Amino acid sequence: MTENSTQTVSILGINGRIGQFAAKAFIDAGWQVKGFGRENRAPFDGFEFVKGDGFNLQDVQRAVSGADVVVHALNLPYDKWADMEKGAVALNRVVIEAMKGSGKTLIFAGNVYNYGAKDHRLTPDLPQNPATDKGEIRVQMEKELVEAGRTYNFQVIVIRASDYFGPDATGSWFDLAIAREFHKGKITRICDGKTKHSWAYLPDLGRAFEKVAAQRDQLDAYENFHFAGYRATGEELITLIQAALPTPYKVVQLPWWVFNAMAVFNPMMREIVKMRYLWQEPHELVDPKLDAILGSDFGTPFERAVAETTYSLLPEHELAKIKAKRAA
């Protein structure tokens, strides 16, 4: 295992969900951490902030300078991905250019969009046949990263996970959909409630990034890891949320018909609707190799992860009820 005490990691996208939780995991493990973004919005200390624009090569080069490992967690809003000049592929190519000839390790935050709607058991060796244009973009990004790593001497590691959730994490299906009406005493069911869906708890995913980085010298020039996380039906998840609440909430259905209507004139909503298949088809991430790296005792119990996330999204008066109940 690589010795961490003098190792430096650069987090590209320190303000994002993955960026923040990865940074905290590396800080906790004793790494020197650099965080790159347009501004420093991270609600914690312990890292060197590098201000810059991800589309500016010189800025990204400054961010990765001196780092042994680079975490590529830069992302764009859904409706900006396909832009030819300022989209996801263009952003990825700036990172590639900054990494050329560096001999560093690049860890890329992958997702499940690379696979088809009927691909239910997602293993690292499964052929990537995306179901949407966003999936095609992600396949292209990973392909270019792998080819550049082999050609220009840097290690590429993809750590793929499904939907994220975690305490105070925003912009996820958990907070934007399931918890959208917590303030009204309601839990929103996204689809039928019976289909198994995969979830990645961000504190655990961040720690997985660090553990893989610490063992990078034992890994191949290219690795594609799948982070299993948890699998649960909508009803199972709602049961755990209810268990964390001071009183039972009413369960309501997500109004997909409203989303479909809004998609006609709203580009962001149109892109969200395209991904509905992920809630209609079950999927499971499987990777014994990553499981072995993380160890058998790795991971937060699902009920605790759901509870901690739920608490972070509750109104103050509901949190007061929980505190009073615990004190009784």
Q: Which domain holds residue 183?
A: 173-196+231-281+300-322
266 and 309, same domain (yes or no): yes
115 and 241, same domain (yes or no): no
Residue 292 domain flag: no
pLDDT digits (tens, 9 = 90+) for 136-172: 999 999 999 999 999 999 999 999 999 999 999 988 9
241 and 97, same domain (yes or no): no
Answer whether residue 273 shows pLDDT above 80.
Answer: yes
In 3D space, the residue among 49, 32, 31 whose CA is nearest the CA of residue 40 turns out to be: 49
In 3D space, the residue among 46, 45, 43, 37 whose CA is nearest the CA of residue 11 turns out to be: 37
pLDDT digits (tens, 9 = 90+) for 214-224: 999 999 999 99
147 and 271, same domain (yes or no): no
Residue 251 domain flag: yes
Q: What is the pLDDT of residue 132?
A: 94
49 and 189, same domain (yes or no): no
pLDDT digits (tens, 9 = 90+) for 280-296: 999 999 999 999 999 99
Residue 92 to residue 88: CA distance in whole angstroms: 6
In 3D space, the residue among 59, 81, 58, 70 whose CA is nearest the CA of residue 34 turns out to be: 70
Average pLDDT of span 182-203: 95
Residue 293 domain flag: no
Q: Count the Cβ atoms, other than its own, within 10 Å of residue 193.
A: 14
Assign 91 a pLDDT band (cuts: 50, 70, 90). very high
111 and 225, same domain (yes or no): yes
226 and 304, same domain (yes or no): no
Q: What is the pLDDT of residue 320?
A: 87
Answer whether residue 61 shows pLDDT above 60.
Answer: yes
255 and 120, same domain (yes or no): no
Residue 286 domain flag: no
225 and 238, same domain (yes or no): no
Assign 231 a pLDDT band (cuts: 50, 70, 90). very high
Answer whether residue 2 shows pLDDT above 80.
Answer: no
Q: What is the pLDDT of residue 272?
A: 86
Q: What is the pLDDT of residue 5?
A: 56
Write the CATH number for 131. Answer: 3.40.50.720
**Domains identified in the chain, total number:** 2
269 and 122, same domain (yes or no): no
What sign results for the dihedral spanned by CA atoms 71, 61, 20, 165? Answer: negative
Q: What is the pLDDT of residue 218?
A: 97
pTM greater than 0.85 (yes/no): yes
53 and 128, same domain (yes or no): yes
Answer whether residue 328 shows pLDDT above 80.
Answer: no
Where helices occur in 202-285 by DSSP H, the ranges are 202-214, 234-244, 256-262, 267-274, 277-280
Answer whether residue 194 shows pLDDT above 60.
Answer: yes
143 and 263, same domain (yes or no): no
Residue 153 domain flag: yes
Q: What is the pLDDT of residue 184?
A: 95
Q: Looking at this protein, which amino acid is placed at residue 309?
A: T
Residue 221 domain flag: yes
